[in-house]
Chains A and B, each alone.
Chain A
């Protein structure tokens, strides 16, 4: 009897160990590209191309990073990216909080039907609207400026509206009702009462909007005609399409582009995860 229990306990332990090892191995595989990015960014060009593959650089040299900051107009690309990111975050916060407020806390005829349209636009492939929008921006002479990448952000985004509406619907009505009876106007209620308590969802929207514009490639590729306006992502792809791309520099540039996102993630993990789990909840 005692032996049996011991055997059972051992088999449970064994299974747990097996599952853990399986996950552990798989997790290591997921880390490999990161490992390559960071070790590769310290390698010399010839080291990158040696066969067989060398796991660590012979000498940890910062030359590639130095090259990123001196050989290419890195800071111009960074500034361009940050301008676009900044206005996208502002636009997302302002427009989506207003719109979500209108959908969540005010009653007007047809509201719920229109909200369904908002949801439906989420699964609309952007290719269907891309070409007319491009032609529209061409006619407005906005190609070769940041405007096409910034202005649409001020008119709401279906997913952010959905996220914020979910949050605002949860705020009890009594909270705003008394202010309304006291004669406060709707905008004041939104600004003074709702915005302050919406900080968590605003943070989530800000982060998602940051990620989207920091990572965006197609938008800059289509709308930013001149090298002067290139974002980091676009610059990286242009450097890669050179006949003889400077790979060690590209890896260092990649590492520099990944770093801020990783740091931000480790600081604000909660908000990153929140936005994604919210998206999985049925609307």
Chain B
């Protein structure tokens, strides 16, 4: 006891057992340490260096300072990819979140029977391999023969050209984003399970109906879960690649040129590795800032209870 009161005692110096434990601990995590150094830390440093270089793989990298970064901001395609990605974050992410939260709250509505199969239905689209989902959505979105426009025609609306239309291509991608929001729904449903029943009972006694309960109890308590899903979605949008690559290749006229797609093209179609690395770094910084903004400024991660 007396020993513990002195702050400076280092158990690793005094106990053979603890030293052995520490050595074992490091041995167990050794695979991660190696992997971290080789596949994370070194690449992070290397891509920072490449981003300051002219690098085409064939010749060794040549240092050119911030030229890549400066060139990017005069690159019309890059700016278009930023605008498109921003659009998805500002429109696609909120729309998807509203849909996912609403569906989850309704699914969680008490005394509602026959919804367990619906949970499965909302989840299974996430199981479809991305490439297959893309092939499917090319057809679902077909202007003449697609299911979406066929249904619209039944209710008397002439549907747009979706993926082939500059104006409607991005909304088509948002629809697809909604279709694959099953993971978020599962997480929301788990979050809703944690909301105590007594809160609703108390609110009901005070005369609050379903909608008031939702706005004043459910949503505030769900805030950390919403934040988690929003962050996941935003990271997802930044990394969005397979869908635009297969479905539109960025077209029509760059309407679906998203950030990662253009990064991929620069790196692996044009072999401008330095240029692409600069893009990756801008993305890293922006993604971090967005996440930080959500946590700090909007205090999104805290529930009403915490504050």
A interface residues with partner B (beta carbon < 8 Å): 15-16, 19-20, 22-24, 26-27, 30-37, 40, 48-53, 95, 98-99, 101-103, 106-109, 111, 114, 117-118, 121, 123-136, 138, 152, 154-156, 161, 186, 190, 211, 214-215, 217-218, 222, 232-234, 236-237, 240, 247, 250-251, 254, 257-258, 261-262, 265, 269, 273, 276-277, 279-282
Nearest chain-A residue to B209 (Cβ)? A15
Most buried by A among B18, B24, B137, B186: B24
**Which residues on the B side are within 8 Å of A109 (C-beta)?**
12, 22
Residue pairs across A and B with Cβ atoms less than 8 A apart, 6 shown, are A33-B137, A99-B32, A108-B21, A127-B263, A129-B43, A131-B276
What residues of B have a CB within 8 angstroms of the CB of A214 in the complex? 129
Q: Are B277 and A131 in contact (CB under 8 A)?
A: yes
Closest to A276 in B: B186
Q: Evaluate whether A127 and B115 lie within 8 angstroms (CB atoms) in the complex, with A155-B32, A217-B131, A251-B135 already known.
A: no
Closest Cβ–Cβ distance, residue A102 to chain B (whole Å): 3
B277 CB to closest chain A CB, in angstroms? 5
Measured between beta carbons, the chain B residues less than 8 angstroms from A232 are 129
Nearest CB on B from A41, distance (A): 11
- Enumerate chain A residues within 8 angstroms of B263, measured Cβ to Cβ: 127
Q: A106 contacts B24, CB within 8 Å?
A: yes
Find chain A residues with CB under 8 A from B276 CB: 131
Report the separation of the CA atoms of residues A163 and B263 in the bound assembly, to the nearest whole angstrom.
31
Given A26-B103, A27-B117, list of 15 further CB < 8 A pairs? A15-B210, A19-B112, A36-B140, A102-B29, A109-B12, A114-B29, A127-B280, A128-B283, A131-B280, A135-B273, A236-B135, A237-B245, A258-B128, A265-B127, A280-B190
Closest to B127 in A: A261
Task: Find out whether the CB atom of B36 lies under 8 angstroms from the CB atom of A108.
Answer: no
Contact of A23 among B38, B107, B210, B277 (CB under 8 A): B107
Query: Cβ of B231 and Cβ of A123 under 8 Å apart?
Result: yes
Cβ of A131 and Cβ of B267 under 8 Å apart?
yes
Could you say which residues of chain A place their CB within 8 Å of the CB of B183? 276
Question: Residue-by-residue, is B45-84 near A (CB-CB < 8 Å gives 1, otherwise 0)?
Answer: 0110010000001000000000000000000000000000
B44, B122, B146: the one contacting A128 at CB < 8 Å is B44
Contact B35 A155 (CB under 8 A): yes
- Residues of chain B whose beta carbon lies under 8 Å from any beta carbon of chain A: 12, 18, 21-29, 31-32, 34-36, 38-40, 42-44, 46-47, 50, 57, 103, 106-107, 109, 111-112, 114-115, 117-118, 120-125, 127-137, 139-140, 144-147, 150, 153, 179, 183, 186-187, 190-191, 210, 224-225, 228-229, 231, 235, 238-239, 241-242, 245-246, 260, 263-264, 267-268, 273, 276-277, 279-281, 283-284, 287, 291
Shortest Cβ gap from A11 to chain B (Å)? 11
Give Cα A80–Cα B215 distance, bound, in whole angstroms: 51
Minimum CB–CB distance from B240 to chain A (whole Å) comes to 11
Instruction: Decide if B127 touches A258 in the complex (CB within 8 Å).
Output: yes
In the bound assembly, the distance between CA atoms of A131 and B51 in angstroms comes to: 10
Minimum CB distance partner of B10 in chain A: A109
- Complexed CA–CA distance, A138 and B264 (Å): 17
Partner of B40, one of A33, A49, A124, A154: A124
B18 partner residues in chain A, CB cutoff 8 A: 107
Shortest B148–chain A CB gap in Å is 8
Nearest chain B CB to A45 CB, angstrom units: 12
Q: How far is the CA of A263 from the CA of B283 in the complex (A)?
A: 38
A35 nearest in chain B by CB position: B147
User: Closest 8 CB pairs between A and B?
Assistant: A155-B35, A102-B28, A106-B25, A280-B187, A108-B25, A129-B43, A132-B46, A132-B43
Interface contact B125-A33, CB-CB below 8 Å: yes
Given contacts A53-B145, A53-B150, contact A125 B121 (CB under 8 A): no
Shortest B93–chain A CB gap in Å is 16
Whether B124 lies near A265 (C-beta < 8 A) is yes
Most chain B Cβ neighbours within 10 Å, of A95, A98, A126, A132: A132
Q: Are B115 and A23 in contact (CB under 8 A)?
A: yes
Do A98 and B28 touch across chains, with their CB atoms under 8 A apart?
A: yes
**Beta-carbon contact of A125 and B28 below 8 Å:** no
Given contacts A118-B32, A125-B287, contact A52 B150 (CB under 8 A): yes
Q: Give A237 to B244 CA distance when docked, in angstroms.
A: 12
Q: Is there contact, CB below 8 Å, between B239 and A126? A: yes
Q: Could you tell me if B27 and A102 are in contact, using CB atoms closer than 8 angstroms? A: yes
Name the residue on B nearest A115 (C-beta). B29
The chain A residue with its CB closest to the CB of B125 is A30
A152-B39, A236-B135 known; A131 vs B47 contact (CB < 8 Å): yes
> Which residues from B are CB-within-8-Å of A126?
239
Chain A: minimal CB distance from B15 (Å): 11
B191-A129 in contact (CB<8A):
no
CA distance A225 to B268 in the complex (A): 12
Q: Who on chain A is nearest to B105 by CB?
A: A19
Q: Is the CB of B147 within 8 A of A32?
A: yes
